[in-house]
Structure 1
């Protein structure tokens, strides 16, 4: 692996934006670390450290960095789609784009889903599923919500990129304005279910900022305006509006900034995007160092696998501690904080072992449609259908988990009950459709 990383790093073209790669890895790493730190596990269940110590909630304004990942996604998707347009007939681009962008996402995700689905089925057939095992089966799929949102961003890239090319900042303003309208209808008019539209409007607005960056339209002054304006707006919304302080979901709260996203989270995303853009120049100088760049390249090659399996590793560590009769201190106590470095080190080591076992699935297979070759008739709609099924499947699975697999347990996906078997079937079927649509026909 070391030699291949060294070769990849050495072959990096001078035109590559290395800072984007760093942001991708750093944002996923921050999410993983945040999950490990926030978990307040006791023999009785799993709580949230931020609920135990509310004074720590302002830290989420630094550690809730998913907007940065989606911003980076917009940048990468714009470059990828435009590159394909230069190489292929336009009628074959959409299916090829979906397959190319989703392959490194869906292949490791499908392995994760199938491995955990088989394990959950075996555990419950043997009569298990209680205690920490049951909690793990319910919670281990929760990070899949991020995969679902990212799928939507990839699927909507072509039409939103066309809007961006026509209206520029106006396209972003339209999505942000729609998010404002949704929150007004939600909180001022009490319109039911309208809040779920902000899963699209808020995250796609952040994604649209990535298009603007790809065109060089976020210079230092605009970055400063985004950072300052976003921070002031988020603070005002939290201070005077119906929005909670935490930028991550909290147990039992009536309003969450995350699920569904709120205007406060959009403002938070703006300030983060502006802040990371202000740091671009010094970070770029740092990334010119060969050792630093090799580290980023190596991390990028396994980032998605590590993200998928990091909760598995965390619950594995807690399960091992309980099996060895190691006392789990009261969350936020002095003994709990003393134990944090050990738990983090063990979780990191177990995650590394899981990455070693499953990282091969993150390596994309070669695309089989040659540049300039027409795609299959109807490949675009087939790919769109596949992406939609995957989106619904992974979002449903993130909500229902694998607990109660044999009991027909369901969760509401917006207003539709979905079970784990149905979610797995949709995800698998959608992935196969995307793969088929992106391949060359005889």
Structure 2
């Protein structure tokens, strides 16, 4: 099996080769998320003027076994672990500190999110002033805010990379097993204390991210194909046992919020699938046009992820106010309209990427600058996590949108610019993950 560290697409400044397979896997995951959301959202305007929303896809009998296979969130975090540990090692090689890593990671995630929250706040307040029913506005806010749970979980995992990498270097298996033990402990108490289960948004995704560390170290490179298939089968068998025993649900969407042990097992399975298909993914990613598409999407992945649901919600909300044909949810006409909905979202994403995509670009100044004081970085972390955690647990409201936008803007000001090591800016990496410093 081809080793993942072979220089398939050139090297960065630290001499680390780009792994086209990981870039393509991240792109496929993002595409599946956008397609899946286009197949789920179905607002309904009732004769009395009230509006409700239906998750058409989740109501299908065939959906539960399908989502078992296509629940790609664990793979996002596995890939994030691979790119995260590589980015941290590169920063260490340039003399960077853990505080600078946190500053860099947080700034690159918060800047595009701040623009989204501000735009949503202004847009929804404008809709209220234009006479749109407050119920419709709240429905749009809550639906469009769904990506924020991912931002909260991803930030919690990524900002802990310096600490988790240090633990991984000293005791990799003990660290992983310790995180899994914390996941199981929280799962044991979720029945008695339901809110306590949300702590697993940290433990579960940090454990899955840790799998990416193992992959980055080449641990799975030594496994034969038959062994990887056995690992995949074993993980799914354990998940089936957990479902039969009633310890988790057979619907992975239910298991996702709040996450439980099944997502860790699914992460192990998907890491093995990624390793098994890596030669094929590398071959596909080497095709020029595929590589070009992945390059563009990779530079603006966070913008696409954050904006696709708000744009989808806005588009469907506006359609409710028109006489445009709206097939009933779940009918043949509704299913045939899904490609048009997806195409419409893609068209709306183009100007969003042009306007806000630059916020994802490497925020490193051309000249050397000093990092912010530790108190400023810590304060920025707190003011970001308070509204994000609130939205992830309780849902997004118009008031929280405004408060979140203000908190995110404050965090950007507190973080300033990422400290540069050296006298020249780092060159842009065409296929670089959007959150790599």
Instruction: Note whether the superposition's TM-score is higher than 0.5.
Output: yes
Q: Partners in 2 of 1:385 and 1:178 — Cα distance?
A: 27
Q: For 1:15, what is the secondary structure of its paired residue? A: coil
> 2:117 — aligned with what?
113
Q: Partners in 1 of 2:386 and 2:359 — Cα distance?
A: 22
Q: Establish whether residue 240 from structure 1 lines up as the match of residue 245 from structure 2.
A: yes
Equivalent residues of 1:74, 1:207 under 8 A apart: yes
Equivalent residues of 1:140, 1:311 under 8 A apart: yes
Residue ranges of structure 1 left out of the alignment (5+ in a row): 1-8, 249-255, 406-418
Q: 1:343 to 1:422 in 2, by over 3 A?
A: closer
Q: How does 1:67-216 map to 2 (within 5 A)?
A: 67-88=74-95, 93-130=97-134, 132-187=136-191, 190-191=192-193, 193-216=195-218
Equivalent residues of 1:148, 1:392 under 8 A apart: no
CA positional deviation for 1:115: 1.1
> 2:429 — aligned with what?
none
Equivalent residues of 1:369, 1:375 under 8 A apart: no
Q: Partners in 1 of 2:27 and 2:339 — Cα distance?
A: 22
Q: 1:29 to 1:177 in 2, by over 3 A?
A: same
- Aligned CA RMSD, in angstroms, stands at 2.6
> 2:259 — aligned with what?
261
Q: Partners in 1 of 2:133 and 2:155 — Cα distance?
A: 31
> 2:37 — aligned with what?
35
Q: 1:22 to 1:265 in 2, by over 3 A?
A: same
Aligned residue among 227, 231, 235 for 2:232: 227
CA positional deviation for 1:78: 0.8
> 2:25 — aligned with what?
23
Q: Partners in 2 of 1:94 and 1:128 — Cα distance?
A: 47
Q: Establish whether residue 54 from structure 1 lines up as the match of residue 84 from structure 2.
A: no
After superposition, the C-alpha distances for 1:224-283 in whole angstroms (9 at most, x for unaligned) are: 4542222111222122224222111xxxxxxx3122111122222222222122111121
> 1:386 — aligned with what?
380
CA positional deviation for 1:368: 6.2
CA positional deviation for 1:218: 2.0
Q: How does 1:360-371 map to 2 (within 5 A)?
A: 360-367=358-365, 370=368
Between 1:313-322 and 1:103-112, the stretch displaced more is 313-322
Please report the TM-score for the alignment, with normalisation by the length of structure 2.
0.84
After superposition, the C-alpha distances for 1:367-408 in whole angstroms (9 at most, x for unaligned) are: 4674xx8745xx344323322321222232445666453xxx
Q: How does 1:332-371 map to 2 (within 5 A)?
A: 332-367=330-365, 370=368
Q: For 2:256, what is the secondary structure of its paired residue? A: coil
Please report the TM-score for the alignment, with normalisation by the length of structure 1.
0.83
Equivalent residues of 2:384, 2:407 under 8 A apart: yes
After superposition, the C-alpha distances for 1:17-69 in whole angstroms (9 at most, x for unaligned) are: 11121122221221111111111222232111244323312211122211111
Aligned length: 403
Q: Partners in 2 of 1:321 and 1:18 — Cα distance?
A: 39
After superposition, the C-alpha distances for 1:328-365 in whole angstroms (9 at most, x for unaligned) are: 22211122112222222222222223223322222222
Q: For 1:47, what is the secondary structure of its paired residue? A: strand
Residue ranges of structure 2 left out of the alignment (5+ in a row): 1-7, 46-50, 422-437
